[in-house]
Structure 1
Amino acid sequence: MNWSIFKYLLTLLLAFPVSLLAITDEPQEVSDTKRWDKRIHLRYEGWERMKPTHVKMQYAGGMGVLSTGVGWDYGKRRQWETDVLLGYLPAKYASDFLLTLTVKQNYIPWSMSFDKHWALEPFYCGMYLTTIAGEEFWEKEPGRYPNRYYNFSTKIRPYIFIGQRMNFNLKNSIVQHISLFYEVSTCELYIISKATNRSLTMRDVLRFSFGAKVQLFKNK
C-alpha cells in the first residue's frame, strides 16, 4: 500500500497546529454594528493552541461514506476552521475496504443569533484535499499507460464547496454548541468533464453531503 500522500497530509496536520502558536488574537467583544453575530474567539495560551476546538462527522462528500475527525477554529470571530478527517469506503463500493484522509479549510463569514440557544450560519465555503489508500490508485500516471493518457491523479482530489449550518448552543462544562450542516461540493475532474461533455447534468457534477459539528468548550 502506498502511503506517500497520507504521510504528506499528516505532515500538514502536524504543521498546522504548531502554526497556531504564532496567533496572538485577544478575546474580542461583540461590536455594536454586529450584535447579531455572537461569535467570539477565546484565546488559548502557548501550546494549548494545539488542542482541537471541535469534533466533526460528515457523510459523503467525496471523502468516503463516513468520515470523522477534529479541527481548529481561529480568527477574531472564529470565521476560519481547519479540519482533519479520517474516512472509510466499504468494500461494496470498491474492490476492498479503503481509508481516506481529508484536510479541509472552511471560511464562515457570517453568523446570525436568534436567541441564546439558536444561531444560523447562512453561508460558508471552502476547499478540501482528499486522498485514498489503495494500490489501484496513483499519484502519478503508471508506466503501463501511454504518456499523458490519464492526465490526472486518481489518489488525490481537490474539492470546493458551499454550505449552511444551524447551531444549538449548550455551553455546559464540555460542549459549547452542536451544529448540523449540509454542503454542496465538486472537484476539478467533474468541472472539466462538464465543460467537455454537455450531456452531463448538474447532478453528475455536484455532490451533496451533511454532518454534525460539536464545538468544545474553551475557558478564558
Structure 2
Amino acid sequence: MLFVGRQVLLRGIGLAVNLAGSLVCQAQSDPFSSGKAPFFLSLHVGGGLGLVAVGGGVQLAQQRLEPEVLVGYVPRRFSSKPLTIFTFKATYLPVRATLGDHWRVSGGVGGYVSYTHGATIRDSKDPSNYTPGYYFFSTKVRTGLFVTPRLTYAGIATVQRPNPARVAAYAELGTNDLYLLSRLPNKGGISVSDILTLGFGSKVGW
C-alpha cells in the first residue's frame, strides 16, 4: 500500500508539473501577453506634433494606457525658422479585438500637452506681441484631444525569443485648444474641417 501510495503521489506531481509547463508555454506563445516588457518607441508624422516626431513610453493597465514623450521638428521650409515641439501624450485603448494569432485592431482616445520652442511662435504673454488679455494662455503651449484607430502585429513568443517585437500603425484625428477657441467666435468663417488635425505613426514594443 505504501508503494502504491508513492506511485500515485509521484504521478500526481508529474501531472501538475506538466500542466504548469503547458500553461507557461501558452503564456509565452501569446503575442499580446500583458506580462511582456511594456516599453515602446514611437515615430509620429503630422497632427500638430511636428512634421516628424520621435519618442517613447510605457504600456500600463494591461496595455490599455500609453503615456509617452515625443520631440518633434518643423524644418525651415515650413516656417521662417526651425521649430522644436516637446509633447507629453497619453493614449487610452478601451476597444480591442484580436484577429487570428498575430493581429489586433484597437480603438481609443487620448490627449496631449505640447510646448513649441522657436522664434516664429510669438508668446501671448509678451506685451510687445499682444495687448494684455488678448490670449489668456500661452500660444507656445498647446493642449489637444484625439481619437485613434490602430492595427498591431505581434510575433509568436518562443524560448529563444520570449519577447518578440510588436509593431503598430495608427492614425490620430483631433484638435487643440487654440483651434477650438478660434472657431467659437467665427463659426461662419471657420469650418469644422479647418480645426481638425490628422497625424499618423508607428510604435514598436518589445
TM-score (structure 1 length as normaliser): 0.71
Q: Does 1:53 find its partner at 2:39?
A: yes
Q: 1:204 aligns with which of 171, 180, 194?
A: 194
Are the equivalent residues in 1 in contact too, given 2:124–2:134 (CA < 8 A)?
no
Q: Does 1:100 find its partner at 2:85?
A: yes
**Cα distance in 2, alignment partners of residues 107 and 80 from structure 1:** 5
Q: Does 1:142 find its partner at 2:126?
A: yes
Q: 2:35 aligns with which of 19, 42, 45?
A: 42
CA RMSD of aligned residues (A): 2.3
1:171/1:100 Cα in 2 relative to 1: closer, same or farther (>3 Å)? farther
- Work out which of the two has the higher radius of gyration on C-alpha atoms and give 1 or 2: 2
Structure 1 residue aligned with 2:105? 120
Structure 1 residue aligned with 2:5? none
Are the equivalent residues in 2 in contact too, given 1:57–1:66 (CA < 8 A)?
yes
SS at structure 1 position matched to 2:178: helix
Instruction: Please list every run of 5 or more consecutive structure 2 residues that lacks an aligned counterpart in the other structure.
Output: 1-22, 24-30
Q: What is the CA deviation profile of residues 101-134 of structure 1, one whole-angstrom value per residue up to 9, with x for unaligned ones?
A: 110011111211011111100x211100111112
Structure 2 residue aligned with 1:17? none
Q: What is the CA deviation profile of residues 74-111 of structure 1, one whole-angstrom value per residue up to 9, with x for unaligned ones?
A: 11x21111111111001011121221111001111121
Q: 1:180 aligns with which of 162, 166, 169?
A: 169
Structure 2 residue aligned with 1:157? 142
Instruction: Please list every run of 5 or more consecutive structure 1 residues that lacks an aligned counterpart in the other structure.
Output: 1-28, 30-37, 45-51
Structure 2 residue aligned with 1:193? 182
TM-score (structure 2 length as normaliser): 0.76
- How far has the Cα of 1:40 moved from its partner? 3.8
SS at structure 2 position matched to 1:108: strand
Aligned-residue identity in percent: 26
Structure 1 segments of 4 or more deviating over 3 A? 135-140, 171-175
**Cα distance in 1, alignment partners of residues 166 and 78 from structure 2:** 34
Report how many residues are paired: 172
Are the equivalent residues in 2 in contact too, given 1:40–1:78 (CA < 8 A)?
no
**Cα distance in 1, alignment partners of residues 36 and 202 from structure 2:** 24
Structure 2 residue aligned with 1:133? 117
Q: What is the CA deviation profile of residues 152-211 of structure 1, one whole-angstrom value per residue up to 9, with x for unaligned ones?
A: 312110010001000111246364311110010100111122221112112201011111
**Cα distance in 2, alignment partners of residues 43 and 212 from structure 1:** 19
Are the equivalent residues in 2 in contact too, given 1:175–1:214 (CA < 8 A)?
no
